[in-house]
Structure 1
Amino acid sequence: MGVEDGTPPQRIQRRRVKGWQLPEGAVIVTRPTRWGNPFEVGAMVQQFPGGYAKPYEGSAPPGVYPGDADRPGGYEIRPVADRADAVGLFRAHLLRYPALLIPPIRQHLHGRDLACWCPLTDAYGNPVPCHADVLLRVAAGEEP
């Protein structure tokens, strides 16, 4: 389990198979836990200049909207394209509110294995992007 046994913390894929158990000391970081990524593939987001976005639940159609007095830079309403996009939005979210979000991650997740539903690799053996990788870096004292 990471630091306690001398191995670096890692991402673990949760499974729904008989007999599978969460390793001792691992932390679940899926939605709806406080560590879950609020950006889901296919869900709509309102994205602002600079990369920051927030989940969008309004009724406006996807598109680019010009700025106004409240949002001088404008914004775009769009779906989250894929896992890499969702992870990028999560990273931008942490960078937008570092003083609020990063200290609890370091306090509660440092040295812990993190469990998410995302697969570890794709069919070709390539790593699959997951917000838990960002959490592992932040928990280790690195930048998102």
Structure 2
Amino acid sequence: MHKRVHFNRYEGQRMPENSALVTRQTRYGNPFTVEEFGREEALRLFKIYLDWAIKWKLLDLDPLAGKDLACNCHLNEACHADILLAKINELKTN
């Protein structure tokens, strides 16, 4: 099973091998900010948004399948990448 990895380009890190970037600046980023909504609500809204975007074919998760997901959230924090990983696994089993 693939996992979420911490990535911060400002710290001079290299993108981990076999990973996809899912930060806010990418099409897979969470448009709901922690600063505006709080972490729990931002993640709840992202899950609703993700289901909607997939239903209406506005977002394709196939390019993320089989990859670790890199975000700048710390690994001890809940992150939208966890929701993406769960959705990818759900779609793979259906």
TM-score, normalised to structure 2, is 0.82
1:111–1:139 contact (8 Å) kept in structure 2: no
1:139 aligns to 2:88 (yes or no): yes
Instruction: Give structure 2 stretches of 5+ with no counterpart.
Output: none
**Among candidates 7, 17, 26, match of residue 11 of structure 2:** 17
**Amino acid of the structure 2 residue aligned with 1:35:** Y
Per the TM alignment, residue 118 of structure 1 is displaced from its structure 2 partner at its CA by: 0.6
**Amino acid of the structure 2 residue aligned with 1:135:** L
Higher percent of residues as helix: 2
Moved more, 28-37 or 90-99: 90-99
1:27 aligns to 2:20 (yes or no): yes
Higher percent of residues as strand: 1
Superposed CA offset, 1:18-37 (max 9, x none): 4x311112111001101100
Bigger Rg, which one: 1
Superposed CA offset, 1:29-87 (max 9, x none): 001101100001233xxxxxxxxxxxxxxxxxxxxxxxxxxxxxxxxxxxx1x212111
Separation of aligned partners in 1, 2:18 and 2:49: 26
**Amino acid of the structure 2 residue aligned with 1:85:** E
**Amino acid of the structure 1 residue aligned with 2:16:** P
Instruction: Give structure 1 stretches of 5+ with no counterpart.
Output: 1-7, 44-79, 122-127
Count residues with an aligned counterpart. Answer: 89
| SS in structure 2 of the partner of residue 12 of structure 1 | strand
**Among candidates 94, 101, 106, match of residue 50 of structure 2:** 94
Separation of aligned partners in 2, 1:108 and 1:98: 13
Structure with higher RCO (Cα < 8 A, 6+ apart): 2
TM-score, normalised to structure 1, is 0.56
Aligned to 1:64: none
Superposed CA offset, 1:75-112 (max 9, x none): xxxxx1x212111110011223432256x11x111110
The percentage of counterpart residues that share the same residue type is 37
CA RMSD of aligned residues (A): 1.7
**Amino acid of the structure 2 residue aligned with 1:119:** H
**Among candidates 59, 68, 73, match of residue 118 of structure 1:** 73
